[in-house]
Structure 1
Amino acid sequence: MSDVEKARTSQTQLVHNTPNVASRATKIANPGALGLFSFASTTLILSLYNVNARSIHTPNVVVGMACFSGGLAQFLAGMWEFPRGNVFGATAFTSYGAFWMSYATILIPGSGVLSAYTSPDELSQALGIYLITWFVLTFMFLIGSLRRNMGLVSLFVSLCITFILLATGAFAGSVSVTRAGGAFGIITAWIAYYCGLSDLLVKDESWFTLPLGNIV
């Protein structure tokens, strides 16, 4: 084989035999279930507050969950996805881990975030901008999930709707729209639970597995 042919063969192998980054050999266990369960649990609690379940109007009990479960645990799941080579999972988990920690910071009285606003309307508009920014990022994750599986696509579609409704509710000062966002948040949480359970039920280690709807 000539040097030119060898070079072409090597180049072809480089293009076609590039390992799937999501399945790179590593001793790190799959952190997907941890990230999804942490996200789902925190989202479920806050969403129940948003629909005023049990007549709850003050969401501050979610602060602990937002700091440590939705925040720290999910952030760590994202960090563990990086050495596994899963850029999508790493970016998503790290981003939403940071989201929950930032949201907790808003609600912590000592942070001074809420007390800095003397006008309720200004605070609502500021929260609306905060939420619409996360809608934009979530929409980008939706685009990135389109060739993965239907579980993730459904998750990000539902989360996009949740953020846009919550942002609209904040901008318009509408309790009913915020409640609608809370309702979609509950749906989002259960989809995330399903996806997390699917990751947890590993083939040959579980009695059954859950399909995520692979996209051809």
Structure 2
Amino acid sequence: MSGEHNTDYEKDISPGNGHDFANGANGATATHQMSAEDTARAAARFGYGPLAHVNTTEAQLRPFGGEFQPGLYKSVEHRKFGNPAPLGLSAFALTTFVLSLINMGARDIAEPNIVVALAFGYGGLVQLLAGMWEMAVGNTFGATALSSYGGFWISFAIVLTPGGFEIASSLGGASDPMFNNSFGLFLFGWFIFTTILLFCTMRSTVAFFLLFFFLDLTFLLLGIGYVHRNAEGKPNPPVIKAAGLFGLLAAFAAWYNALAGIADSSNSFFIIPVAHFPWSPTARSRKTERQTV
């Protein structure tokens, strides 16, 4: 794929005004001043997609869910290892997908115990490790989010482990109001945490924002469903099913962002559109470019 063709696809992420570059040069000048070595390295590293045609030595890269970065960030070209974000996103997505289907009553599965294995092994341990690698590459947001949700899945599995930790039984059993109220408070706490992260994605991409928006609604509805129970004293079925629906949307949004971080010219025939908010740095730089032209 030629550089000219890539540029056509990458109008949303082409270098913009001076705020996008550490050296203060405007986007057009910095692009033309890229050395052949810089250009070759950028093409080899990113190929195309939201990070293509960027001066990876000098630029501040654009917000991008595939790198789990909600704001401008420094070059990742110096890394000696890969991008851990797609791994963490995939671990979160699959575990959330299975639990959400159960919450929606798929195949008449009444108990979510099958999720325990995923929550310990993939959504928990693997996502926690991905979060630690995000810390190693200097991504504070990614480290906080992935490590925290890895901890969520581990703690969720601890609660559900049959006979292992006896948390449910010590609260009167899974059908006891005390357990349901306690679990509802647990979920409300995660709703508050997710809301905090959601605020940090409002100047990023639509795909990145929707991941946390759907997840936020999932935690909120799950908390409501456990606290406001039906006449039989069980978690409110319609509310839990609604939470399952938003959980599915969150899972697919996580997979979408993961694919955006994985796909490049070495393995994909297409780019993954992520859509920038009109008030995002990317959209504002595009507006500046049009006004300049």
Question: Same-fold call, TM > 0.5?
Answer: yes
Could you tell me which of 126, 137, 153 is aligned with 1:84? 137
1:149: Cα distance to partner?
Answer: 1.4
Note closer, same or farther for the CA distance 1:103–1:181 as it changes in structure 2 (3 Å cut).
same
Q: Counterpart of 2:198?
A: 142
Are 1:158 and 2:158 counterparts?
no
Aligned length in residues:
204
Q: Is the contact made by 2:59 and 2:75 (CA closer than 8 Å) also made in structure 1?
A: no
Deviation at 1:183, TM superposition (A): 1.1
1:42 aligns to 2:79 (yes or no): no
User: What TM-score do the two structures reach when normalised by structure 2?
Assistant: 0.66
Alignment of 1:118 onto 2:180: no
CA contact (8 A) 2:131 2:143 kept: yes
Q: Select 2:242's aligned residue among 177, 180, 183.
A: 180
- Asked if 1:202 corresponds to 2:202, the answer is no
- Percent identity for Structure 1 against Structure 2: 38
Computing the radius of gyration from Cα coordinates, the structure with the larger value is 2
Partner AA of 1:114 in structure 2: A
2:200 alignment partner, SS class: helix
RMSD, aligned α-carbons: 2.0
1:127 equivalent to 2:180? Answer no
Tell me, in whole angstroms, the C-alpha distance in 2 between the residues paired with 1:134 and 1:202. 34
CA distance in 2 between counterparts of 1:122 and 1:77 reads 35
Describe how 1:8-47 pairs up with structure 2 within 5 A: 21=73, 23-24=75-76, 25-47=78-100
The answer for the alignment partner of 2:252 in structure 1 is 190
Match of 1:8 in 2: none
Amino acid at match of 1:157: F
Instruction: State the secondary structure of the residue aligned to 1:111.
Output: coil
Contact 1:22 1:85 in 2 (8 A): no
Consecutive unaligned residues in structure 1, runs of 5 or more: 1-12
Structure 1 runs of 4+ with >3 Å offset: 13-24
1:152 CA displacement: 1.1
Distance in 2, Cα, partners of 1:171 & 1:53: 23
Residues 59 and 21 (structure 1), Cα distance of their counterparts in 2 relative to 1, 3 Å cut: same
Q: Which amino acid aligns with 1:118?
A: G
* CA deviations over 1:138-170 (Å, ceiling 9, x no partner): 001101111221111011111111110000000
More helix by share: 1
- CA gap of 1:165–1:15, structure 2 versus 1, over 3 A, is farther
